[in-house]
Structure 1
Amino acid sequence: MFELGSLAIFILIAAVVLIAQGVKIVPQQHAWVVERLGKYHATLSPGLTIIVPFIDRVAYKHILKEIPLDVPSQICITRDNTQLQVDGVLYFQVTDPMKASYGSSNFVLAITQLAQTTLRSIIGRLELDKTFEEREYINHSIVNALDEAASNWGVKVLRYEIKDLTPPKEILHAMQQQITAEREKRALIAASEGRKQEQINIATGEREAAIQRSEGDRQAQINQAQGEAAAILAVAEANAEAIRKIAASVQLAGGTEAVNLKVAEQYVDAFAKLAKTGNTLIVPGNLGDMGSMIASALQIVKGSGNASVLGGRTPNT
């Protein structure tokens, strides 16, 4: 009985060992390389898989996810013989698990070394200033060089990014001075451009103001001329109306005598005003004319008075 129990336990343990050796569960985004009697046999995909115990063995396990690889910092010499410390990060992915297992003894180390040597070669063809401007070119060149070589290792290099470019302290100080000088130059240029624009704006404003003043003066002169013309026209029309009325009055009875009387009054009044302006005695050149004019005026007055008397007296019967 004891021997049967021991045999059953042994068989159970052996079955558990066989199951553990023969049943494999591969996680997602993983690939396992199986060797049979030391030779490549198959690549296990994610899921449950059964292999032959003690004959097959899982030799390599690969992650199929994108893997970031930190490339160690190194000193590179630029084309103008300036030392530059560069470090970066590389992103790659295993695409062929069999090649990744047998193509290189350590494909991670191979990629790292190749990235460093390629970086030194590219930096050596560029001047210091260009290394800061051509980061995209450097990254692209390293990816192309690595991807071509890594295809034999079952690896796809996705991208390379430079993390830092550090020049020596002396070069860094000189670059800072250059940047400061460039900024000061741009500030001076901006200030001069501002002053130039200010002068242009002032000149433009003065020109427009002068144009507006001249337009105002011209319009004022036009308005004044139009006002004077209207005034002259109004005076002329008034004089014409007065002359028409005088002419109409002359045509009436006694109109001619009234005109003669008015002229005589103005004649006498004019000589009176001239006499008051100075000590000189003004005598008409022809006293007979003055006398005849006064006589005519008196005659008109008498005629007007008699007409008034006759008009107001009652006739005898």
Structure 2
Amino acid sequence: MPAVLVLLVLLVLAVVVILAKTVRIIPQARAGIVERFGKYKESLPAGLNILVPFIDKVRYLIDLREQVVSFPPQPVITEDNLVVSIDTVIYFQVTDPVAATYEIANYIQAVEQLTMTTLRNIVGGMDLEETLTSRDEINNRLRGVLDEATGKWGIRVNRVELKGIDPPPSIKDSMEKQMRADRDKRAAILTAEGERQSAILTAEGSKQSAILNAEGDRESQILRAQADREAAILRAQGEGQAIQTVFQAIHDGQPDQSLLAYQYLQMMPKIAEGDANKVWIVPSEIGRALEGLGSTMNDLKGIPQEVDGPRVRVDMGPTDVPTEAERDAGLKATHAAVEEAIAEARKSSTTSPDKAAKADRAEPPAQEPPAQ
């Protein structure tokens, strides 16, 4: 009985081992390389596969997905003899599992070495500044070389990226100084442009202010001149009307010699007014004026008993403010009336020259008193 049990156990174990060697499950996006007696037989797809136990063997399991490999930084010498450290990232995919298995022993290491050598060739023809600013060009050229070289290995390089380009510390310091100098230069240029714009705007504001002030002064002077002109015209019109009124009133009153002598005596105290008038001269006609005044006080001769009133009334003009044309016409009319009145006065004064001559012969002129 124990022997039968041991036999059954061994039989079950044999069946399990045979099934394990016969049935093989390949994961998705993988490929199994099957060898029979050390020779390639076939590639197993994803899923359940049946093998001949103890004869067929899955030698390699190849990943068909896109893979990312980052290589450590490598020193590279540029055209201007500067050593820079460059690390790269490769994106590749196995397209032929058989070629990737039997054409190359370690395709990842091969891609790394090929990347480094190709990168040294590309960067060796560039200077430092071009290397730092030509990442896309380096990536495209590197990808083209790698894709061409790895095609026979069953590998397709999809993308190559330069993860970092590190120049020497001294070059970094110089680059920082240059960048700082460029920024200081741009800041100085922007400051100068701002000051220039500010000065231009200030000058334009001053110009506009001066223009507006000049225009305001000009308009103010024009308005002031027009006001002075109108005031002078109105003042002249008023003086002309006042002269005409006084002149007309004198003629309407028909003054005689006695009235004129009386007015003459009233004006004499005004002549002597003032602290500076220490000496004044009595005119020679003072005697005749006093005689006329005496006869006037005694007999009131020359003064009419009844006054008929003025013969002509003076028109004072309209009370409204006239226009410029009306003011000019009024001034002309006033000047004409004044000239006419003066002419009439001169004509009337020449009608009695004999009477004035007789008065001169009747009494000689009085002697002027000595100055006090």
What TM-score results when the alignment is normalised by the length of structure 1? 0.72
Q: Which residue of 2 aligns with 1:170?
A: 170
Q: Which moved more, 1:211-220 or 1:270-279?
A: 270-279
CA distance in 2, matches of 1:271, 1:95: 142
Q: CA deviation at 1:94?
A: 2.2
CA distance in 1, matches of 2:117, 2:49: 42
What TM-score results when the alignment is normalised by the length of structure 2? 0.63
Q: CA deviation at 1:122?
A: 0.8
Q: CA deviation at 1:127?
A: 0.4
RMSD: 4.2
CA distance in 1, matches of 2:255, 2:139: 122
Q: Which residue of 1 aligns with 2:55?
A: 55
Q: Contact 1:43–1:97 (CA<8 Å) still a contact in 2? A: no
C-alpha offsets along residues 185-224 of structure 1, whole Å, 9 cap, x if unaligned? 3343334334333332332232222222212222322332
CA distance in 1, matches of 2:92, 2:26: 21
Q: Which residue of 2 aligns with 1:197?
A: 197
C-alpha offsets along residues 239-273 of structure 1, whole Å, 9 cap, x if unaligned? 89x69xx7xxx9xxx99726989xx8xx9788986
Give aligned-pair identity as a percent: 35
Q: 1:282 to 1:214 in 2, by over 3 A?
A: farther
Q: Which moved more, 1:182-191 or 1:154-163?
A: 182-191
Q: CA deviation at 1:50?
A: 3.1
Q: Which residue of 2 aligns with 1:181?
A: 181
Q: CA deviation at 1:79?
A: 0.9
C-alpha offsets along residues 8-62 of structure 1, whole Å, 9 cap, x if unaligned? 33332222112222222333333323334522412322x3333333333222212
CA distance in 1, matches of 2:151, 2:267: 131
Residue 44, structure 1, aligned to residue 39, structure 2: no
Q: 1:304 to 1:28 in 2, by over 3 A?
A: farther
C-alpha offsets along residues 85-127 of structure 1, whole Å, 9 cap, x if unaligned? 2222222222332332233221101110110011101110100
Residue 257, structure 1, aligned to residue 223, structure 2: no
Output the amino acid matched with 1:257.
Answer: D
Alignment of 1:206-225 (within 5 A): 206-225=206-225
Q: 1:104 to 1:275 in 2, by over 3 A?
A: same
Q: Contact 2:118–2:142 (CA<8 Å) still a contact in 1? A: yes
CA distance in 2, matches of 1:133, 1:5: 78
Q: Which residue of 1 aligns with 2:361?
A: none
Q: Which residue of 2 aligns with 1:69?
A: 69
Q: CA deviation at 1:149?
A: 1.8
Q: Unaligned stretches of 5+ in structure 1?
A: 307-317
Q: CA deviation at 1:68?
A: 2.0
Aligned length: 292
Secondary structure at 2:150's aligned position in 1? helix
Output the amino acid matched with 1:42.
Answer: S
More helix by share: 1
Q: Contact 2:94–2:100 (CA<8 Å) still a contact in 1? A: yes
CA distance in 2, matches of 1:88, 1:216: 76
Q: Which residue of 1 aligns with 2:157?
A: 157
CA distance in 2, matches of 1:282, 1:67: 140
- Structure number with bigger Rg: 2
Q: 1:29 to 1:41 in 2, by over 3 A?
A: closer
Q: 1:231 to 1:16 in 2, by over 3 A?
A: farther
Output the amino acid matched with 2:114.
Answer: L
Q: Contact 2:93–2:158 (CA<8 Å) still a contact in 1? A: yes
Q: 1:281 to 1:97 in 2, by over 3 A?
A: farther
Output the amino acid matched with 1:303.
Answer: E
CA distance in 1, matches of 2:251, 2:54: 163
Q: Which residue of 2 aligns with 1:119?
A: 119
Q: 1:276 to 1:119 in 2, by over 3 A?
A: same
Q: Unaligned stretches of 5+ in structure 2?
A: 297-301, 310-372
Secondary structure at 1:72's aligned position in 2? coil
Alignment of 1:224-235 (within 5 A): 224-228=224-228, 231=231
Q: CA deviation at 1:70?
A: 1.9
Secondary structure at 1:219's aligned position in 2? helix
Q: Contact 2:31–2:45 (CA<8 Å) still a contact in 1? A: yes
Q: Which residue of 2 aligns with 1:99?
A: 99
Q: CA deviation at 1:131?
A: 1.1
Q: 1:18 to 1:215 in 2, by over 3 A?
A: farther
Q: Contact 1:26–1:32 (CA<8 Å) still a contact in 2? A: yes
CA distance in 2, matches of 1:48, 1:270: 153
Residue 303, structure 1, aligned to residue 309, structure 2: no
Q: Contact 2:142–2:160 (CA<8 Å) still a contact in 1? A: yes
CA distance in 1, matches of 2:267, 2:44: 143
Q: Which residue of 2 aligns with 1:146?
A: 146
Q: CA deviation at 1:236?
A: 7.6
Q: CA deviation at 1:235?
A: 5.7
CA distance in 1, matches of 2:198, 2:273: 69
